[in-house]
Amino acid sequence: MSARYDRAITVFSPDGHLFQVEYALEAVRKGTLAVGVRGKDTIVLGVEKKAAAKLQDARTVRKIVKIDEHICLAFAGLTADARVLVNRARMEAQSYRLTLDEQVSVDHITKYIAGVQQKYTQSGGVRPFGISTLIVGFDPAGAPQLYQTDPSGIHSAWKATAIGRNSKTIREFLEKNYIETSGKDTVKLAIKALLETVEAGSKSIEVAVMDKEHGLRVWTDEEVDALVKEVEAEKAAAEASKRGGAGQAGAV
Amino acid sequence: MDYLMGVKGPDFVMICSDSAASHSIISIKKDEDKLIPIDSNKLFGVAGEAGDRVNFSEYIIANVKLYALRNNTELSTKAVANFTRGELAKALRKAPYHCHLLLGGYDKSTGPSLYWMDYLGTLTKLNTGGTGYGSMFVLSLFDKLWHPNLTEAEGLDMMKQGIAEVKRRLVTAPSNYIIKIIDANGIRIVKNWDQDV
B59 close contact with A: CB closer than 8 A: yes
Distance from CA of A140 to the nearest CA of B (A): 20
Q: Which of B59, B48, B63, B103 is nearest to B81 (CA)?
A: B103
Cβ atoms B106, B92 nearer than 8 A: no
Instruction: Residue A91: list chain B partners with CB under 8 A.
Output: 66
A87 close contact with B: CB closer than 8 A: yes
Left (φ > 0), alpha (ψ -120 to 50) or beta: where does A183 sit? left
pLDDT classification of A252: cutoffs 50, 70, 90: very low
A182 close contact with B: CB closer than 8 A: no
Residue to test with chain A: of B60, B66, B67, most A Cβ within 10 A: B66
Largest CA distance in chain B: 49
Q: Say which residues have a Cβ less than 8 Å from residue B158's Cβ, sequence separation at least 6.
A: B7, B128, B141, B142, B145, B146, B150
> For A90, which of B58, B59, B70 is closest by C-beta distance?
B70
| Cα–Cα distance list, A169 to A12, A64, A162, A205 (Å) | 30, 22, 9, 17
Tens digit of each residue's pLDDT (9 = 90 or more) over B70-104: 888 889 999 999 999 999 999 999 999 999 999 99
Distance from CA of A142 to the nearest CA of B (A): 23
Residue A251: pLDDT above 60? no
Mean pLDDT score of chain B, rounded to an integer? 92
What is the pTM assigned to this prediction? 0.82
Rounded to 10 degrees, the C-alpha dihedral A58/A64/A67/A70 comes to -120
Burial-class residue B143 by CB neighbours within 10 Å (0-12, 13-18, 19+): exposed
Instruction: Provide ipTM, 2 decimals.
Output: 0.71
A94 close contact with B: CB closer than 8 A: yes
Interchain CB distance below 8 Å, A97 and B59 = no
> For A98, which of B59, B69, B70 is closest by C-beta distance?
B59
Distance from CA of B15 to the nearest CA of A (A): 25
pLDDT classification of B55: cutoffs 50, 70, 90: very high
pLDDT score for B197? 44
A66 close contact with B: CB closer than 8 A: yes
CA–CA dist A241, A147 (Å, integer): 37
Residue A14: pLDDT above 70? yes
Distance from CA of A153 to the nearest CA of B (A): 24
- Describe chain A by its helix, strand, coil percentages, rounded to 5: 45, 25, 35
Tens digit of each residue's pLDDT (9 = 90 or more) over A147-184: 999 999 999 999 999 999 999 999 999 999 999 998 89
